Amino acid sequence: MASWPSSAGVRDATTFDARLLGRSTASDQDTWTRYWISTRCPTARTPWGSSVDQRSLQWNYPTGNQDIVYFVFTLYNVTARSNGVYANPTIPVELQRRSPAWDAPFKTVLSERWG
């Protein structure tokens, strides 16, 4: 967790208890990863892509809960050509600034794959 980026922290007050906001974990055993998905729909004029933040949550208590793994997925559209679309209050500030960096590899791969 010490090497997790700041965007891996607990930030969503609509999903997590407000007491957890700003912490790096929300449960006893969190995992966090970011990946992206791309595809091209046959009827679409442009490819589509999404960056996904995935968090798994596991608790040791209460009894019975230790057998359940919870997942939270946050999806971000990374196909925009303009950085202005990332200036949205629903996107964390650090992701707004980072968006051009993390969608650049996506655009490069799509250009190579579909021209």
Record the tokens describing residue 38, joined without a space.
């791309």
Residue 33 within any structural domain of the chain: yes
Residue 65 within any structural domain of the chain: yes
Residue 74 within any structural domain of the chain: yes
**Domains in the chain: how many in total?**
1
Residue 10 within any structural domain of the chain: yes
Residue 1 within any structural domain of the chain: no
- What CA–CA distances, in Å, run from 8 to 5, 15, 61, 92, 97? 6, 14, 23, 11, 15
Tens-place pLDDT, residues 62-106: 888 888 999 999 887 777 666 677 777 667 666 666 555 555 666
pTM of structure: 0.68
Residue 101 within any structural domain of the chain: yes
Using a 10 angstrom Cβ sphere, with 0-12 exposed, 13-18 middle and 19 or more buried, the burial of residue 49 is buried
Tens-place pLDDT, residues 19-60: 998 888 999 999 999 887 766 666 666 666 777 889 999 999
78: domain range?
6-114
Residue 41 within any structural domain of the chain: yes
